[in-house]
Structure 1
């Protein structure tokens, strides 16, 4: 077997056909971009960012719907909500439709941070888009939705 020099690309072997490997390597790139544009400037983890933007787009939501949308277990969702509530980005309030249940609501500060996150996502997405055509981007999103479907 020949020895590879430092400049030569590694053979991926069986990994060439492993979807999870390619998703993981793409995740490294996209998460680095996220942390530079959104995570560090706004002190947000990706799941926190996602939850805030879901609330920004939909208004008050029951915790169960948020957990389903983010694929979080009830205990992990509770920890996330507690953390965001301590930072005064969200609050829990009784549902007007069903007084027995609660909704998660953005506070004014949460609204500000969510809007800043949405704004910060524009140059982040532009940076990632430089690697794909518009059609490739739309196809990738469609394919990832299929892979993520439960």
Structure 2
């Protein structure tokens, strides 16, 4: 079995990615905040509970994350006029600028990593990762 070697390599890749992204996004963003901004950019206004499946965290942690993002003027939270119990999260202009910066940093990093192998092997890698993730 190649399980141990796969686990070792995956750990190296994930740690390298996280370290790189933390450095590139600092001091205004974290990877979790980038995820939230990307979702808002793609899907429009969302309720805080809509974010939980994408962040793999608790409602309380999402609230704290959104508090920090609101203080940083990356998002805005507004009460629903029809049902005041609902809160809608939206991206600000500063948030749009930061999501663009974060995606560019991520793409540059991933391109540099993928450039280590041929185009054919890049396609194969993406295919195999899709199989592992259950999306292909």
Q: Does 1:64 align with 2:49?
A: yes
**5 Å matches for 1:48-127?**
48-95=33-80, 98-127=83-112
TM (norm. structure 2) is: 0.78
Q: Indicate if the aligned counterparts of 1:30 and 1:128 stay in contact, CA closer than 8 A.
A: no
Kindly state the Cα deviation for residue 58 of structure 1 after the two structures are TM-superposed: 1.3
2:10 is aligned, of 23, 26, 33, to 23
Q: Indicate if the aligned counterparts of 1:129 and 1:137 stay in contact, CA closer than 8 A.
A: no
Kindly state the Cα deviation for residue 23 of structure 1 after the two structures are TM-superposed: 2.6
Q: Indicate if the aligned counterparts of 1:51 and 1:66 stay in contact, CA closer than 8 A.
A: yes
Kindly state the Cα deviation for residue 17 of structure 1 after the two structures are TM-superposed: 1.9
Q: Indicate if the aligned counterparts of 2:38 and 2:99 stay in contact, CA closer than 8 A.
A: yes
Would you identify which runs of 4 or more consecutive aligned residues in structure 1 move more than 6 Å?
none
Moved more, 122-131 or 60-69: 122-131
Kindly state the Cα deviation for residue 134 of structure 1 after the two structures are TM-superposed: 2.7
* Alignment size in residue pairs: 131
Match for residue 142 of structure 1? 130
- Determine which structure has more spread, i.e. the larger CA radius of gyration: 1
Q: Which sections of structure 2, spanning at least 5 residues, go unmatched?
A: none
Kindly state the Cα deviation for residue 144 of structure 1 after the two structures are TM-superposed: 5.2
Q: Does 1:33 align with 2:11?
A: no
Q: Which sections of structure 1, spanning at least 5 residues, go unmatched?
A: 1-13
